[in-house]
Amino acid sequence: MPRARTFSWSFLRRPRVEDEVDDEFAFHVDMTMQMLVAQGSSPDDARAEAVRRFGNMAVVSAECQHFGRQRDRSRSRAEYMRELLQDITFSLRQLRRTPGFAITAIVTLALGIGATAAVFSALYAVVLSPLPFANADRVVQFEGIRRGSPEETFTGAEISALRARTDAFSYVAAVRFGAGLTLTGLDVPEVIGGMLVSADYLRVLGVSPQVGRSFVDSDDHPGAPEVVIISDRYWKTRFNGEKSIIGRTLLVEDERYTVIGVMPADFDALGADNQFWAPLRMSAEQLASHSGRSLSVIARLAPGVTLARASEAARAAVRLTAEKNPKATQDVSARARRYIDTIVGDYRQRLLILLGAVGLVLLIACVNVANLLLARGTVRARELAIRAALGAGRGRLIRQLLAESLVLALAGATLGVAIAFGLVKVLVSLAPSGVPRLQHAGVNGVVLAFTFVVAIVCSVVIGLVPSLRTAGPGLQTSLREGGRGAGGARRDPLRAFLVATEIALAMTLLTGSGLLIRTAIHLQEVNPGFKSTNLMTARLLLPTRYRDAALIARTYDQIRTAASEVPGVQHAALVSMVPLTHNQLATSLAPEGRTLSADERINTDFRYTSPDYFDTMGMSFIDGRDFDRTDDASAPKVCIISAALAKKLWPGERAVGKRIEVMSDKMTVVGVAGDVHDAALSVPPAPTLYMPFQQTPAGMWAATSRSLVLVTRTVPRPETILPALRKAVMSVDASVPLADEGSMSDILSSSMAKSRFNMMLLATLGVIALVLASIGVYGVVAYFVSQRTREIGVRMALGAAPRDIWRLVLNRGLRPIVWGAIAGTVLSLLTTRLLREQLFGVAPNDPTTLMVVGALLLGVAVLATITPARRAMRVMPSSALAAE
Amino acid sequence: MPATDRLHGTLDALVLKALSAEPLHGFGILRWIAERTDDVVQVEEGSLYPALYRMERDGWLVAEWGVTDQGRRAKFYSITAKGRRQLNAETRELASFIAAITPVLLPA
């Protein structure tokens, strides 16, 4: 038997599999031949027989090569993994030897990665996660464009025209958002919010109730039995999630509504205040009407229809409708937007900007760690040089260094995920209310995957530059330099570049947050046009049995009287809508006697108010008189106009006494009131028309669900009088509920909540960036001083004054800072444009902000430079030289 | 159990058995099997070598180039721990297979 002398062939050049198989087969054929010859065959016969025994040798050989190649592949994979594991264990050992460095680096990265992951999880929840619909990307919402301005709502005739386009839309549903049902039969009547929808609504969304049934067409006919579908949340909180809810009735203003279904739980994410869905029940007249635009329209695209074709069809539909109604403006258009986009709105941009900002912070953190690694790389250059001299390849050395940064980044990411868990909770609790779907933000699988990718990218960013540099061609010199530093360290462009980068990134962030801070200050200074302190507001809804306009007016008058008698109430008034609540009613008007075309008429918001509204709100009153109790349905029609409207109607003339035509009515202007910021503080006051609530037409009462807002100016804190106010209202009619109670200061501050939230986040990120950047500057200058102690000593020994050393160090430290500030200015000018829509009263390229931020940054950077520079000045020549 | 698997399994078992005593090259394995079975079992080269490469890929065998007694370079196979476990399993299955078919094909 042959004996195998073992030796490892893995050190040799690995033979190709083909050669291996050929050699092995040749040996076998030879051995068979020898055996056959020994048995008496002729050599030729023996060879032929030996080959024959292999069968089709080419096929057998191919099969062997196939297995052999698979074997080699899995071997080299295993080998690579083994080496990587070696590198990682080695890195871990190295890091344990320098715990200070390791902790600094890991914590820095963890903060950056954690903040990034938290912002990403908000972005994912709000913007990226799919809607809980079947084929959600096929659902669109229409947006009308009338005389150039976008409008969300459509007329009945337009809805019918959109429905007719069955070529483009499978289903079209009309929706009235913000509807309310008054539940009676409870101790205190309660209003639940929800939507009135046409029967196709759930078909458009492709959603079925989790319990019970969907709406069917017969539910949607006027006069059909009242039915309602309730939200999962309402079902769980009110009815303990009992299945028996289906078929039960709710008492709504003494009418019985049968509960037919419960929506799925994930549907709550779309809007927490939607507690019910009830049929809209448009009559034939409503569906043919060209007036009364109050319905939003959503649709499911027909198979194969693109968004562009859907917009085309919508445009054609509204144009066709407009042609049938020649009195109205013909300047109409419409488009279809993905439903997800209308839900997400401008949060997509806001959150992307935030993600960009937090990405910058992470980048600064990475640069800081890269700097630390670079400094360490220099210290370790000798060790690496020795390893290289012992035969480790350059690639292997780089991989070793990258393994180290990978270990750091993964450790940072692990800690970062823990930080993100907490940060997301903080983010969600601090966020302004009404950010869609934010409540569902959390660290989920997608966020973890994102964090992992971020960590890998970080490890490359922090590892690649230092490793290329350390393992680079300068390696040999470090042996010669006695380990004092990598070659050519006299000038250190790479490190200076990193510092400049940090400064530039921090400057960009600070400029952005500076602009938002200035915006917030400007907003704070805007006079809203009313005095918000000590104002309480609450919406009142009169039940459906109040049909007669005169009865409604009388009841509201009684309520106002009762409210004004509540102790602590100075003024009480009624208004159809308070400012800053996004519920404007709008129309167009013309001065009497002037015929204006549909396109020339003046657009205005309008409100119905009681007497004393302007005093209650603390608005200025410019001219004429307030409404009076006698301005009732039997009296001549009167109105009060805002200063902005007066200026549009009769520029330079006195408005009081003049007459206007509006909504096929004529009325006399009896007063001019001061302007109010209605839509938002950042939006200029809109022209507004005020009319006495006693003159409200019956049709308007129906459209507003017989609802007015009770506004009271109080002496004590407004919230404290709410119970007494409720009692006063119930003394008039115990079935009238109060809804949306809130002080005007709360309404005012929540109107600024979005911009304040953004400012706060960006400012926080800016401060973190500033701190990180100054740590980076400090680290680099301190390192420079420690590496140059000997040189400084020599210079001082040769007669250099401390002042000269001071100048040397400052010069070295400040030059990259100045370059960074210049680059940061350019970068700021390029990026702050993204903030344009969030700014108010300040331009994206505001020079003051840039200058202040630049000065702040330079100041902090100089402070970070001074400490090590002072240390350099105190270097004793003798000790510096002795240290060598 | 399909017949081809049974055949594979049997060949694998024979090869692993041959190597369980000492490392052998391919020709040596054939000779070992022929000698032990008095030339009843004739394994073909065309089946043997693909089986060897397959088992090497699966980690049942490892191969090393060595030198024979006659001073020739040859590829020697030896069995791994994993291979031994496989041999045990194959042997057990083969035994139960034979126990199952014997009363059918060779009734007493």
Q: Residues A812-847: pLDDT tens digits?
A: 778 888 889 999 999 999 988 888 888 888 888 888
> Which residues of A fall within a CB distance of 8 Å from B64?
4, 6-9
Chains A–B, number of C-beta pairs less than 8 Å apart: 93
pLDDT of residue A710: 95
Q: Which residues of B touch A72 (CB under 8 A)?
A: none
- A799, with CB counted inside 10 A (0-12, 13-18, 19+), is exposed
pLDDT at A86: 85
Is residue B103 a part of any domain in this protein?
no
pLDDT of residue B7: 66
Which domain CATH number covers B41?
A: 1.10.10.10
pLDDT of residue A209: 92
Contact A55 B45 (CB under 8 A): yes
| Chain A stretch 32-51, residues whose beta carbon is closer than 8 A to a beta carbon of chain B | 32
- A23-66 tens-digit pLDDT: 999 999 999 999 999 988 899 999 998 888 888 989 999 999 99
Instruction: Name which of A317-331, A717-731, A861-875, B47-61 the model is least confident about.
Output: A861-875
Q: What is the pLDDT of residue A864?
A: 82
Answer whether residue B70 is part of any domain.
yes
Nearest to A67 among B50, B68, B74 (CB): B50
In the structure, what pLDDT confidence band is assigned to residue A381 with cuts at 50, 70 and 90? low
What pLDDT does A115 receive?
92
Cβ–Cβ gap B49/A2 under 8 Å: no
Check CB contact of A452 with chain B, cutoff 8 Å: no
pLDDT higher at A868 or A359: A359
Mean pLDDT of A710-721: 92
pLDDT of residue A106: 92
- How far is A282 from A829, CA to CA, in rounded Å? 53
pLDDT at residue A413 in the model: 95
User: Taking residues A94-114, what's their average pLDDT?
Assistant: 88
Among A32, A60, A71, whose Cβ lies nearest the Cβ of B50?
A60
Domain membership flag for residue B67: yes
Calpha distance A591→A650 (Å, rounded): 8
Angle at alpha carbon of residue A561, lines to A557 and A563, rounded to 5°: 115
* DSSP codes joined into one string, A195-252: EEE-TTHHHHHT---SEE----GGGGSTTSPPEEEE-HHHHHHHHTT-GGGTT-EEEE
Q: Does A68 touch chain B (CB under 8 A)?
A: yes
Is B78 a domain residue?
A: yes
pLDDT-wise least confident of A247-261, A454-468, B24-38: A454-468
- On whether residue B105 sits in a domain, the answer given is no
What number of CA atoms fall less than 13 Å from residue A851's CA on the CB side? Answer: 3
User: Cα separations (Å) of A611 from A552, A629, A702, A727?
Assistant: 16, 7, 22, 22
Q: What is the pLDDT of residue A642?
A: 95
- Could you give the percent of chain A with pLDDT greater than 70? 92
pLDDT for A620: 94
Given B45, B52, B53, which is nearest A54 (Cβ)? B45
Distance (Å, whole) CA A85 – CA A91: 10
Query: Does residue B52 sit within a domain?
Result: yes
pLDDT of residue A488: 39
Q: How far apart are CA B92 and CA A406, in angstroms?
A: 48
Choose, out of A19, A60, A74, the residue to mutate when testing the contact with B (most B CBs < 10 Å).
A60
**Best to test chain A binding among B19, B43, B58, B65 (most A CBs inside 10 Å):** B65
pTM for the model? 0.73
CB contacts of A71 in chain B (<8 Å) are: 53, 56-57
Most confident of A80-94, A390-404, A466-480, B25-39: B25-39
| pLDDT tens digit sequence for A8-26 | 444 444 568 888 999 999 9
Q: How far is A22 from chain B (nearest CA, A)?
A: 11
pLDDT of A3 over the 60 cut = no
How large is the average pLDDT for residues A146-162? 87
Task: Provide the strand spans (E) within A56-137.
Answer: none
By the 10 Å C-beta count (0-12 exposed, 13-18 middle, 19+ buried), A361 is classed as buried
Best probe of the A interface among B19, B27, B39, by most A CBs < 10 A, is B27
Contact assignment for A53 to B44 by CB distance below 8 Å: yes
- pLDDT surpassing 70 at residue A378: no
pLDDT of residue A9: 43
Asked whether the predicted pLDDT for residue A445 surpasses 50, the reply is: yes
pLDDT at position A10, please? 44
Number of structural domains (chain B) is 1
Token readout for B3 is 């017949």
Chain A 300-339, residues with CB within 8 Å of chain B CB atoms: none
By the 10 Å C-beta count (0-12 exposed, 13-18 middle, 19+ buried), A668 is classed as middle
Q: Report whether pLDDT(A379) > 80.
A: no
Structural domain contains residue B40: yes
Is a pLDDT exceeding 50 seen at residue A77? yes
Tell me the chain A residues in contact with residue B75 when contact means C-beta distances shorter than 8 Å: 20, 23-24, 27
Q: Which residues of B touch A20 (CB under 8 A)?
A: 75
Closest to A642 (Cα-Cα) out of A680, A601, A688, A599:
A688
CB contact under 8 A, B67 and A56: no
Q: What is the pLDDT of residues B57-75, one digit of tens each?
A: 999 999 999 888 888 899 9
Q: What is the average per-residue pLDDT within A654-661?
A: 92
Give residue A815's pLDDT: 84
**Whole-number Cα distances in Å, A273 to A240, A249, A339:** 18, 21, 18
Q: Which of A165-174, A383-392, A670-679 is the least confident region?
A: A383-392
Asked if the Cβ–Cβ distance from B28 to A1 is below 8 Å, we say: yes
> A239: how many CB neighbours lie within 10 A of its CB?
16
Q: Judge whether A619 and A608 are in contact, CB under 8 Å.
A: no
Tokens matching residue A428: 């969600």
Q: Does A70 contact chain B (CB < 8 Å)?
A: yes
pLDDT of residue A151: 82
Q: What was the pLDDT predicted at A6?
A: 43
Q: What is the average per-residue pLDDT within A258-275?
A: 84
Please indicate if any CB of chain B lies within 8 Å of the CB of A12.
no
pLDDT at position A757: 81
**Residue-level pLDDT, tens digit, chain B, 108 residues:** 444 566 677 889 999 999 998 999 999 999 999 888 888 888 889 999 999 999 999 999 999 998 888 888 999 999 999 999 999 998 998 888 888 888 888 876
Q: Evaluate if residue A484 carries a pLDDT over 60.
A: no
ipTM of the complex: 0.91
The one-character DSSP state at B24 is B
Integer Cα distance of A378 and A470 in angstroms = 7
Q: What is the pLDDT of residue A485?
A: 41
Q: What does the mean pLDDT of chain A come to?
A: 85
Amino acid at A765: L
Residues of B in contact with A57 (CB under 8 A): 46
Of A374, A422, A709, A693, the closest CA to residue A557 belongs to: A693
Residue A676 pLDDT > 90:
yes
Of A180-189, A468-477, A766-775, B8-17, the least confident: A468-477
Domain extent, residue B78, equals 3-95
Task: State residue A289 phi and psi, 5-degree precision.
Answer: -75, 140
Cβ contact A5–B22 (<8 Å): no
Put simply, the answer to whether B69 touches A5 (Cβ < 8 Å) is no
Mean pLDDT, residues A301-309: 93
Task: Using an 8 Å CB-CB cutoff, list residues of chain B that contact chain A.
Answer: 22-28, 44-46, 49-50, 52-54, 56-57, 64-70, 72-76, 78
- CB spacing of B66 vs A4 below 8 angstroms: yes
Strand stretches in chain B, DSSP E: 61-67, 73-79
pLDDT band at A584 (very low <50, low <70, confident <90, very high): low
**How many residues does this entry show for chain B?**
108
Sign of CA dihedral B20, B25, B26, B32: negative
Residue A315 has pLDDT above 70, yes or no: yes
Rounded mean pLDDT, A377-396: 68
> Tell me: the pLDDT tens digits for A236-250?
988 888 888 899 888
- pLDDT surpassing 90 at residue A85: no
Q: Quick one: pLDDT at residue A607?
A: 92
Q: Rg of chain B's alpha carbons, rounded to an integer?
A: 15
Is residue B106 assigned to a domain? no
